[in-house]
């Protein structure tokens, strides 16, 4: 009987456990997670923070489901060491656990810059349900919040804090919001709309310190300006949790290095999700975590060998009734690219495609959800569009007929 052990009970770990059980019905599948809950959907943390969902609505499968799947789920169980040669793990509580194949699905933590004041009460990150619960309790006592980081997660959190009637200022170090998903024009368009809904923004500003003596009272910017706020949230990117792998001598750069089969540099040890770095890339998104977990578990079980082909980065932001999607190389800029943009103030839509050598490689769509699947398909198919690239976004052009071929 093969013993599979998975470290990390998030979406990657849980997907792999379920898949291993299906592929190898007689195996022992053990899923170890240091959080107090079984897998819950992190994107729902905003609704929880905004007071629209309760804790019980977040958990994906009840504990009984794991028992019915014969998955030995152990919550509140932190792994403190791996011994790759002995094929065993050490738990923080002291026990040793042997494995035949191991998956590291340890996720990521939030990056917090090493600046004065970040340890003060009133300073938060949002990664776990416990973070969200602590912030929700604090928000009830606060009036003004600052969100450091105007990326996808920062904006969604700012929106949730707004719903709690806080006065929210978002501070972004780059010259515009959503630097990973949007170009300048698209970001300005989005910012104006969000401002009209009550959010405040400071862009192109580096945060140098959290101010306050015994609790946060705001932040200080590089130009000396002080922004007042009694709740400060850092949303400035993620750091893969690779420490277990690093300490065990497994190859780590930013994340745990995994090859196309999702195997690490150590025999019988695989990695998936936010902890894994594949071809220099850490995705930090749910869909790639699921896809990597599927490939890893397939190869762990010795079923038909599969390789992870990479995932087209695709992010959707749903904010205050707005719908923003960026696909592929949405912010790529170089002379070899052809860029087409259509901005319709009245309709509230912004569309952009990026074409390289006659092939669409990226797109941005604001408030045009119907076009998203068509452009996704077009990017994935790598179809030559050189004959029509100037017309692709025209209203008169039948994109659906072109993509679907009808
Ligand atoms: C608020 C929020 C909203 C998000 N929204 C979106 C979204 O809309 N769309 C999207 O695609 N992505 C979103 N993401 C990102 C997405 O949640 C992650 O990409 C995804 O959770 C990665 O899954 P994972 O299983 O790799 O890691 P995780 O979900 O982080 O799970 C890893 C687990 O391993 C545990 N662990 C770590 N080390 C140990 C150890 N030594 N011993 C035991 N357990 C350990 C961790 O505590 C954690 O429970 C969001 C993230 C957050 C925080």
Instruction: For 142-185, write each residue's pLDDT tens digit.
Output: 999 999 999 989 999 999 999 899 999 999 999 999 887 788 88
| pLDDT, the chain, mean | 93
Percent of the chain predicted with pLDDT > 70? 99
Asked whether residue 199 carries a pLDDT value surpassing 70, the answer given is yes
Q: Atom 38 (ligand 1): residue with closest C-alpha?
A: 106
- The model's pLDDT over 46-82, given as tens digits with 9 standing for 90+, comes to 999 999 998 889 999 999 999 999 999 999 999 999 9
Give 322 or 119, the one with higher predicted confidence: 119
pLDDT of residue 320: 63
Asked whether residue 406 carries a pLDDT value surpassing 60, the answer given is no
pLDDT of residue 304: 72
Give 240 or 395, the one with higher predicted confidence: 240
Task: Among 42, 79, 244, 272, say which to mutate for ligand 1: greatest number of ligand atoms within 8 Å of CB.
Answer: 42
Q: Do residues 343 and 185 touch, judged by C-beta distance below 8 A?
A: yes
Count of CB atoms within 10 A of residue 243's CB? 15
Pocket of ligand 1 (CB under 6 A): 7-13, 32-35, 42-43, 45, 78-79, 105-108, 126-127, 153, 241, 244, 273-275, 284-287, 289
DSSP category for residue 370: G
Q: Atom 33 (ligand 1): residue with closest C-alpha?
A: 8
Q: What is the mean pLDDT of residues 282-299?
A: 94
Q: Atom 39 (ligand 1): residue with closest C-alpha?
A: 106
Tell which phi-psi region holds residue 122, choosing left (phi > 0), alpha (psi between -120 and 50) or beta. Answer: left
| pLDDT classification of 114: cutoffs 50, 70, 90 | very high
pLDDT of residue 56: 87
DSSP string of 252-263, one letter each residue = BSSSEEE-TT-B
Whole-angstrom distance, CA of residue 269 vs CA of residue 95 = 20
pLDDT of residue 334: 81
Q: Do residues 330 and 182 touch, judged by C-beta distance below 8 A?
A: yes
Q: What is the mean pLDDT of residues 251-273?
A: 97
Percent of the chain predicted with pLDDT > 90? 75
Count of CB atoms within 10 A of residue 198's CB? 12
Q: Atom 19 (ligand 1): residue with closest C-alpha?
A: 285
pLDDT of residue 255: 98
Task: Among 286, 288, 293, 315, say which to mutate for ligand 1: greatest number of ligand atoms within 8 Å of CB.
Answer: 286
Give 329 or 24, the one with higher predicted confidence: 24
Q: Atom 7 (ligand 1): residue with closest C-alpha?
A: 43
pLDDT of residue 148: 98
Half-sphere exposure of 91 (CA within 13 A, CB side): 20
| pLDDT classification of 329: cutoffs 50, 70, 90 | confident
Q: Which atom of ligand 1 is nearest to the CA of 273?
A: 26
Q: Which atom of ligand 1 is nearest to the CA of 14?
A: 25
Asked whether residue 374 carries a pLDDT value surpassing 90, the answer given is yes
Q: Where are the beta strands (DSSP E) in 33-143?
A: 71-74, 79-83, 88-91, 96-98, 101-104, 108-110, 123-124
């Amino acid at each position: 009987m093969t013993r599979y052990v998975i470290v990390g009970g998030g979406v990657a770990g849980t997907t792999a456990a379920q898949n291993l059980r299906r592929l190898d019905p007689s195996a022992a599948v053990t899923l170890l997670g240091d959080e107090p809950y079984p897998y819950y959907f992190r994107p729902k943390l905003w609704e929880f923070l905004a007071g629209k969902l309760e804790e019980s609505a977040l958990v994906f499968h009840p504990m009984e489901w794991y028992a019915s799947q014969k998955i030995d789920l152990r919550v509140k169980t932190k792994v403190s060491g791996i011994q790759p040669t002995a094929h065993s793990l050490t738990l923080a509580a002291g026990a040793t656990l042997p494995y035949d194949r191991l998956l590291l699905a340890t996720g990521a933590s939030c990056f917090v810059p090493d600046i004065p004041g970040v340890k003060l009460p009133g300073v938060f990150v949002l990664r776990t349900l416990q973070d969200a619960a602590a912030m929700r309790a604090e928000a009830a006592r606060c009036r003004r919040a600052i969100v450091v980081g105007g990326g996808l997660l920062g904006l969604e959190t700012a929106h949730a804090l707004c719903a709690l009637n806080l006065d929210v200022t978002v501070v972004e170090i780059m010259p515009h919001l959503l630097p990973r998903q949007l170009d300048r024009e698209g970001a300005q368009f989005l910012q104006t709309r969000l401002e009209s809904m009550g959010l405040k923004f400071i862009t192109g500003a580096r945060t140098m310190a959290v101010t306050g003596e015994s609790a946060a009272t705001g932040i200080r910017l590089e130009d000396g300006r002080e922004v007042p706020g009694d709740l400060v949230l850092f949303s400035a990117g993620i750091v893969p949790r690779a420490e277990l792998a690093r300490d065990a001598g497994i190859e780590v750069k930013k994340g745990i290095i995994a090859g196309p089969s999702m195997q690490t540099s150590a025999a019988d040890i695989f990695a998936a999700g936010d902890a894994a770095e594949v071809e220099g890339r850490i995705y930090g998104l749910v869909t790639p975590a699921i896809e990597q977990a599927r490939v890893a578990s397939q190869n762990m079980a010795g079923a038909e060998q599969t390789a992870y082909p990479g995932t087209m980065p695709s992010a959707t932001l749903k904010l205050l009734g707005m719908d923003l999607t960026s696909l592929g190389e949405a912010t790529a800029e170089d002379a070899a690219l052809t860029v087409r943009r259509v901005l319709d103030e009245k309709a509230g839509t912004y569309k952009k495609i990026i074409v390289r050598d006659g092939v669409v490689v990226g797109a941005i769509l604001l408030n045009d959800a119907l076009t998203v699947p068509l452009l996704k398909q077009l990017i994935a198919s790598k179809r030559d569009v050189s004959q029509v690239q100037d017309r692709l976004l025209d209203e008169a052009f039948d994109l659906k007929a072109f993509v679907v071929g009808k």
